[in-house]
Amino acid sequence: MKQHQLSKGLLLDQHGCLNEAGYAFELVKTYDRKLVKVKGMRIKEWDYYFIGNSSYGVAFTVADNSYMWLTSLTFFDFIQKTEVTETNMGFFSLGKLNMPSSSEKGDVLFKKKNFSFEFKHEDGNRRLIVQSKKFGKHKGFTANILLNQTIKDSMVIATPFEKPKHFYYNQKINLLKASGFMTIGDKTYPLDDAYGVLDWGRGVWTYKNTWYWSSLSGEYQGKKIGFNLGYGFGDTSNATENMLFVDDQTYKLDDVTFHIPEKNHQEDYMSPWTITSHNLDINLTFTPILDRHSHSNILLISSNQHQVFGYFSGRISIGDKQYVDIKDMLGFAEKVKNRW
């Protein structure tokens, strides 16, 4: 497919429609919430981070979905194959969280009585300070993590939905080198050998959506390797969100399909998946070890999420008989189905 690269300018026109749909390697479009013309509670804004190594990881979410706000904290133990999640939410935030209009500046600061999330910019890096007095069966959780962006490029995509004035503007920053720690109860987990990814999203979403997303950041045979693969985030006929990062080189990829196996006529998330493109330029096997499954259903709102962690092996071709092989690199792949 021919993919369109975005130029600089405003994301939305005066009617609240995308000026341009396509991809970029940085935030070339300026998002301005004041230009959104859809009435009601369809605006969704979030920052999501995952940071981890081969043994354990952590994920943070702060989201303003207009009709509700949400914070989420998850600790993953990849050795024991367990996870603990603490989620808090409230209603009718309607932009009151003041989520920054750019990932490049502005801080996320959200504090309540029993928890606080701070995502700050600090000397060109990102500082994540998270605290929760209640965390599962443990006494509490604290984290202080510094993230350094080790590559210049990122995945950026602007996609429309079929419904007028609905859109998604998204940036994924892979290969964020971590330093710092997290503490659960009286046990401390250092993160100096970990990498992270930022999922920064702003948009006006339709009511029903199903998306697929996969991310990997790490080192293999002396090289930094990361990728972003996914679809379902609106109309991607102008561009995909698929990119491969190898050290300081970025490779734009074509379409992708997640092949989730079935068992007894239902998707079997813990059996090996394959992730391929139509011409097999992307040909990966994904072997799951942990499914962070959450399913909420409140009146007209529901979310069914399978974020599956496991090991990627296979080959991604990058043109002219060149390719990148990986084996047993830890990452995640997810399927999310929302009515929101």
Q: Which structural domain, as residue segments, surrounds residue 236? A: 9-339
At residue 217, φ and ψ (nearest 5 deg) are -145, 125
In a domain, 4, yes or no: no
- The Cα–Cα gap between 279 and 281 comes to 6
In a domain, 3, yes or no: no
In a domain, 106, yes or no: yes
- pLDDT for position 137: 83
- pLDDT for position 319: 83
- In the structure encoding, which two tokens stand for residue 101, read together? 């209009």
- pLDDT for position 321: 86
- The Cα–Cα gap between 158 and 11 comes to 8
In a domain, 146, yes or no: yes
CB 128 within 8 Å of CB 143: yes
In a domain, 36, yes or no: yes
- Residue among 201, 164, 161, 163 nearest 65 (CA): 201
- pLDDT for position 340: 86
Identify the segments of the chain with pLDDT beneath 50: none
- The Cα–Cα gap between 213 and 332 comes to 8
In a domain, 1, yes or no: no
In a domain, 2, yes or no: no
- pLDDT for position 247: 97
- pLDDT for position 98: 97
- The Cα–Cα gap between 152 and 233 comes to 24
Give how many domains the chain has, as a whole number: 1
